[in-house]
Structure 1
Amino acid sequence: MRAPPRSPPGPGAGHHHQALYALAECLPFALALLVLLVELTPAHFVYTGPLLVATPALAAVTMGPRGTLAATALAVAVSVVTATHNRAWGGQQVYTNLFALTLVSVASFMTSRAVRTRHDNELNQVRRIAAAAQDVLLRPVAARLGPVRAASMYLAAETGAQIGGDLYEAVQTRYGVRMIIGDVRGKGLPAVRAAAVVLGAFREAVHYEDDLVEVVNHCGAALRRDAAVPGAGLADGDVLLEGFVTVLVAQIPRTPDVEVVNRGHPPPLLLRDGTVRPLEPAAPLPPLGLEEFMTGPAGRTDRYPFGVGDRLLLHTDGVIEARDEDDAFFDLPREMEAMRGHSRKAFLEGLRQALTRHTRGRLADDVAVILVDRVEDDHPHPPAAPADLPGPYA
């Protein structure tokens, strides 16, 4: 059972806040134009000085230094035009207004510049922390893993973010190369926490469980244990339903095959002889966190041919559900076929550019992909068995 496609974001609270913010940005210029209209009409006797002086101060709140300068320039222009039109030069009121406007403009510009500098410093610090967290949580896969060469890519939909609810990993074990890719249903820190829990369980179990289904079951058990912790963000049953995790675990053994356990995740794409086909599961299974909807066995492993020269792409739904301005989905199989001769690095760069063009740079969801090419295995010796590894099984 694959999770249903996510519909485009609706007019929720985020869009409401954006509309209010845009309205606040227009307010300083609207005030200046209002003053201009009043001063050019017979009602010019109305004292509008305070409105004009407030223009740069209001701009400093929402638009930063450049917006403050633009609002100041408009306010000065309005003041000069209205004073000339009303023949008010020489009067004390005009010069008092200009002096007050100058003082407020300078103070507003300095304040907005200081706020912007502090904001940039805080944002840079957050980005450094996010980059360090990404190195731990979503480290790039190794370029060579036994019989495959691999590459990975992660694109965060949130502006300025580097990690989110998507997860991936690829490691070489004595059972073969094992990979996981997944997507947490949810946003924010709870989604990052759930991704970290699943990845931690995978990285531990992948070396000790010979059955790929048991590796997935370990990930599901870890997610349920974490959900039961008070304050985990997934303890409430309703929230847990929204916080499920679709995962796909694949194993590439020494034989020319690939074994897959799919728990509600988009199927991987296999490129062979220039043609792409999805590796659909024989029986759909629910994502992790929704085990109560499982009607059959706890899971099964599907096996597909995967020989030398074949290419396999594991991806999250952020790729195939990316939409253009006409609401059309991104055609990943077509793009994969079009770039069949590309190297792994060139393919991932081409995929990134194609997604950017398709969505005009506005991804609605995070994107994670692992690309693997089957090659001749020149590393015949597998890693150490679990008995040779330190840990609870030693």
Structure 2
Amino acid sequence: MRAPLRSPPGPGAGGHHQVLFALAEALPFAIALVVLVIELTPAHVVYTGPMLVATPALAAVTMGPRGTLAAAGLALAVSVVTATHNRAWGGQQVYTNLLALCLVAAASAMTSRAVRIRRDQELDQVRRIAEAAQEVLLRPVPARLGPVRAASMYLAAETGAQIGGDLYDAVQTRYGVRLIVGDVRGKGLPAVRAAAVVLGAFRESVHYEDDLVEVVDHCGAALRRDAATASAGLAGGEDALIEGFVTALVAQIPDALHVQIVNRGHPAPLLLRDGEARPLAPTVPLPPLGLEEFISGPPGRTDSYPFAPGDRLLLHTDGVLEARDGDDAFFDLAGAMEALRDRTRQSFLEGLRAALLRHVGGRLADDVAVVLVDRCE
């Protein structure tokens, strides 16, 4: 089954967005500081009342109710201090400013709370939709599939994301268990769309194509067809076009003690046997799906490798292999697989997740998809 694992929150939007947001949050407090400087210096002839009244309203734009009340409290304190310093308590203007400040603060706090509640409701709805989409696009891998036991894990690198550009699936067919693991070039909604196209083609073709190469070709044709349709219909609309290519690996595990693999530019899976993990590299490297014009000679071939009871097969995307630590060293997936060799499938995925996140300091740079398959006795 699929492990319900998520990558912990990583960095937010680009650095410039974070800077702008920090400046917006600091603006109300900066205004209060400017007013204080003006009122405590000879420049106090400048009328600063409206500036302080505006601080709670500005705080409500970027901060919650507590931040809004904090800005209002600071503005009120500045008003009291400056009025006392300038001996202005006898004037009606001071009391008018204080009353206006209190009214604006109360209104801003209530507005900020209402906006926060509405935003939380919208985010909760989006999260539920994303989870439903994940169950359709990346549905759970069955724990038992014919002669194998399986489990899977998906970690999205993007903050708040449930799905991304990595894909996987495992299906029981009359030809044996057929699996796919792939990685779309790029991120965001175009990558999700490309993943959906490839998975849809795979789920359709695995049941009637007896040749594994034909299954892969069907996925590539669907990708090219959808790209051409989108390009013609949208005239280059960047947000809706799917990505250009997808690295993919399709495997077939029959009742016979071997595994057949067609690899289209994807990282080689690892086979764990007798405590040693080794990659099942393709005999003839082939380009990813969508780049069929670079294939010279036969369109593809199926490689066969022994896969006996007690063997463990790990299909994965390059988000695992390219994960780096602070010293720019890559994650040792083979070493991790050997270290976790005695664990059950679910415990293995938990351990792999912990080791991977520990290696990268808790922040993934790319999505990670893993499918773990054990050959039964």
Q: Which residue of structure 2 aligns with residue 317 of structure 1?
A: 318
**Any unmatched runs of 5+ in structure 1?**
1-12, 377-394
Cα separation, 1, equivalents of 2:203 and 2:365: 29
Q: How much does 1:63 deviate?
A: 2.0
Q: How much does 1:262 deviate?
A: 1.0
2:100 maps to 1:100:
yes
Look up the SS of the partner of 2:229 in the other structure: coil
The answer on whether the counterparts of 1:227 and 1:234 sit within 8 Å (CA) in structure 2 is: no
Q: How much does 1:69 deviate?
A: 2.4
1:36-67, CA deviations, whole angstroms, 9 ceiling, x for partnerless residues? 22233332332222222211111111223232
Cα separation, 2, equivalents of 1:363 and 1:244: 22
Q: How much does 1:337 deviate?
A: 2.1
The answer on whether the counterparts of 2:248 and 2:263 sit within 8 Å (CA) in structure 1 is: yes
Taking a change above 3 Å as real, the CA distance of residues 173 and 26 of structure 1, as seen in their structure-2 partners, is same
Cα separation, 2, equivalents of 1:191 and 1:153: 19
Cα separation, 1, equivalents of 2:313 and 2:144: 14
Q: How much does 1:238 deviate?
A: 9.8
Q: Which residue of structure 2 aligns with residue 78 of structure 1?
A: 78
Q: Which residue of structure 2 aligns with residue 148 of structure 1?
A: 148
Q: Which residue of structure 2 aligns with residue 334 of structure 1?
A: 335
Q: Which amino acid aligns with 1:46?
A: V
Taking a change above 3 Å as real, the CA distance of residues 294 and 231 of structure 1, as seen in their structure-2 partners, is closer
Cα separation, 2, equivalents of 1:92 and 1:142: 75
Taking structure 1 as the reference length, the TM-score comes to 0.85
Taking a change above 3 Å as real, the CA distance of residues 241 and 173 of structure 1, as seen in their structure-2 partners, is closer
Q: Which amino acid aligns with 1:302?
A: D
The answer on whether the counterparts of 1:229 and 1:235 sit within 8 Å (CA) in structure 2 is: no
Q: Which amino acid aligns with 1:312?
A: L
Cα separation, 2, equivalents of 1:243 and 1:23: 38
Cα separation, 2, equivalents of 1:233 and 1:68: 47
The answer on whether the counterparts of 1:246 and 1:265 sit within 8 Å (CA) in structure 2 is: yes
Cα separation, 2, equivalents of 1:345 and 1:235: 46
Cα separation, 2, equivalents of 1:237 and 1:295: 32
Taking a change above 3 Å as real, the CA distance of residues 349 and 232 of structure 1, as seen in their structure-2 partners, is farther
Cα separation, 2, equivalents of 1:76 and 1:325: 47
Q: Which residue of structure 2 aligns with residue 385 of structure 1?
A: none
Q: Which amino acid aligns with 1:168?
A: Y
The answer on whether the counterparts of 1:268 and 1:315 sit within 8 Å (CA) in structure 2 is: yes
Taking a change above 3 Å as real, the CA distance of residues 81 and 258 of structure 1, as seen in their structure-2 partners, is farther
Q: How much does 1:217 deviate?
A: 0.3
Cα separation, 2, equivalents of 1:106 and 1:232: 54
Q: Which residue of structure 1 aligns with residue 295 of structure 2?
A: 294
**231-240 vs 291-300, which moves further:** 231-240
Q: How much does 1:143 deviate?
A: 0.2
Q: Which residue of structure 1 aligns with residue 210 of structure 2?
A: 210
Q: How much does 1:215 deviate?
A: 0.7
Look up the SS of the partner of 2:169 in the other structure: strand
The answer on whether the counterparts of 1:234 and 1:243 sit within 8 Å (CA) in structure 2 is: no
Q: Which residue of structure 1 aligns with residue 267 of structure 2?
A: 266
Look up the SS of the partner of 2:53 in the other structure: helix
Cα separation, 2, equivalents of 1:367 and 1:78: 52
Cα separation, 1, equivalents of 2:84 and 2:343: 67
Q: Which residue of structure 2 aligns with residue 275 of structure 1?
A: 276
**Any unmatched runs of 5+ in structure 2?**
1-12
The answer on whether the counterparts of 2:40 and 2:85 sit within 8 Å (CA) in structure 1 is: yes
1:345-381, CA deviations, whole angstroms, 9 ceiling, x for partnerless residues? 11212222333333344322222111111111xxxxx
Q: Which residue of structure 2 aligns with residue 351 of structure 1?
A: 352
Cα separation, 2, equivalents of 1:43 and 1:236: 57
In the comparison of the two structures, how many residue pairs are matched?
364
The answer on whether the counterparts of 1:312 and 1:373 sit within 8 Å (CA) in structure 2 is: yes
Aligned residue runs from structure 1 range 1-394, under 5 A: 14-230=14-230, 242-376=243-377
Supply the RMSD in Å over aligned alpha carbons: 2.5
Q: How much does 1:218 deviate?
A: 0.6
Q: How much does 1:244 deviate?
A: 0.9
Q: How much does 1:23 deviate?
A: 2.1
Cα separation, 2, equivalents of 1:237 and 1:52: 46
Q: How much does 1:236 deviate?
A: 5.2
The answer on whether the counterparts of 2:191 and 2:242 sit within 8 Å (CA) in structure 1 is: no
The answer on whether the counterparts of 1:227 and 1:233 sit within 8 Å (CA) in structure 2 is: no
Cα separation, 2, equivalents of 1:146 and 1:243: 35
The answer on whether the counterparts of 2:231 and 2:237 sit within 8 Å (CA) in structure 1 is: no
Cα separation, 1, equivalents of 2:57 and 2:231: 42
The answer on whether the counterparts of 1:190 and 1:232 sit within 8 Å (CA) in structure 2 is: no
**285-294 vs 347-356, which moves further:** 347-356
